[in-house]
Structure 1
Amino acid sequence: MAEVGFPGQHTTTTTVTSSTTVQTNIRFDPSYLKTLPGFLKAVQVVCSLLGFICILSSYFRYISKGAYYSWISMIAFWFTGILLGFYLFHIVEKFYKIPWLKIEFLFCALWTFFYLIAASLACTVHENAYSAAAFFGFVAMAAYGIDSFLKFTAVKAGGLAQGTRVVSKQTTAAVNTPPGRPEGY
């Protein structure tokens, strides 16, 4: 037996619509460097290169700590530098189906850890060039860590690396009463 005032049937419909807007033409856009991700990428590239130069200018550049730091900094320099070029020329936007944010999140998280190790090892060599490299390594580590966090939040939110995605949610409720029964009975 139904309670008084309780409808016979209740239907809720939720409609989620998503529209992605991208421009697929390749164009140079230096304003990307004024955004936080663009600034972080520039800092990462510069610190990686400066740290590498510091290690190479050292008398102890051939010890394993220097080789590890050089390896980490050069991979970071080239990967981040190429990505920066992709963003500046909107190549990332052209190929928006590639999961750029996930790739960048994984790389940034790994390189945060790798730079922590490399900069810590550089601190153990008592030479000015290694001390400077350690400084640039810790700055790069912080930049990769912040970038990793930004990429993680963007992936969780379902964002795009470049372009815009608008997601709208609309909920409607309908009450259906069985035939022959007055509403509210």
Structure 2
Amino acid sequence: MTSPQSPGWNATTTQTATRTTTVVSPQIRFDKLYIQTIPGILKAVVVVLNLIGFICIEVSRWSHHSRGEYFNFVAMCGFWFSGIMLVFYVFHVVEKFFRIPWLKIEFGFYALWTLMYLIAACLAVTFSPTAYTVAGFFGFLAMIVYGYDAFLKYNLIRAGAIAQGSRSVEQTTTVQQTTLPTVSAVTTY
């Protein structure tokens, strides 16, 4: 039975369609403007910080101490990974191979390297040579940059972005409302 206020029953159907468009350029090209973006600046800064920290440990006469060896391992792995990623972004290699989850790879490395630099810098500053203290300072700076970059990558992953190129998501919702005719109630005794 229908309620006395409505002439019939209402039926509502909702359809949602999502269309994702990814636009990338498959050509490798040099883009000097990438260095001026925030991710480009972060990569360039961290490459320099890694190199300075490595040099500080190497000029010390205690460079072969286990703390120095660990710090140099962290600094050189960070230097090479960040340097290679910087080159990949500047030459749009990342855009050419957009199906590789670059943001997840970078997020994982940067989050791990934030922790690795925390350990390496703490070990360096608690050792007495001045070169280790200076290296530890640059290690803490690198830790902050890696942590901030990991935070940015995490936000991009959550937003569904790709590393380079553009992705647009278009969502359309269609609502149809139909009124079915009233059925008279027959009462029998």
Q: Tell me the TM-score normalised to structure 1 length.
A: 0.94
Q: Could you tell me how far apart the structure 2 residues matched to 1:27 and 1:136 are?
A: 33
CA–CA distance in 1 between the matches of 2:127 and 2:157? 39
Match of 1:52 among 48, 51, 54: 54
Aligned to 1:143: 145
Indicate if the aligned counterparts of 1:52 and 1:74 stay in contact, CA closer than 8 A: yes
Give me the whole-angstrom Cα distance separating, in 2, the residues matched to 1:2 and 1:10.
16
**Residue identity matched to 1:49:** L
Per the alignment, in what secondary structure is the counterpart of residue 177 of structure 1? Answer: strand
Shift, 1:94, TM fit: 0.1
6-15 vs 71-80, greater mean Cα deviation:
6-15
Q: Which of the residues 81, 93, 97 maps onto 1:95?
A: 97
Aligned-partner Cα distance in 1 for 2:84–2:12: 55
When Rg is computed on C-alpha atoms for both structures, the one with the higher figure is 2
Identity of aligned residues (%): 50
Q: Could you tell me which residue of structure 1 aligns to residue 2 of structure 2? A: 2
Partner residue in 2 for 1:117? 119
Corresponding position of 1:158: 160
Q: How many residues align?
A: 181
Q: Deviations over 1:136-162 (max 9, x none)?
A: 101100000000000000001100100
Q: Please, what TM-score do these two structures have when normalized by structure 2?
A: 0.92
In 1, the alpha carbon distance for the partners of 2:41 and 2:47 equals 10
Q: In the TM superposition, what is the alpha-carbon distance from 1:2 to its structure 2 partner?
A: 3.4
Deviations 1:30-65 (A, max 9, x none): 111111111110111110011001100001111110
Q: Tell me, yes or no, if the aligned pair for 1:7 and 1:175 is still in contact at 8 Å.
A: no
Residue-by-residue CA offset, 1:47-88 (whole Å, 9 max, x unaligned): 001100110000111111000000011100001100100000
Q: Which amino acid aligns with 1:20?
A: T
RMSD: 1.4
Judge conservation of contact 2:71–2:121 (CA < 8 Å) in 1.
yes
Q: Which runs of 5+ in 1 are unaligned?
A: none
Matched with 2:78 is 76
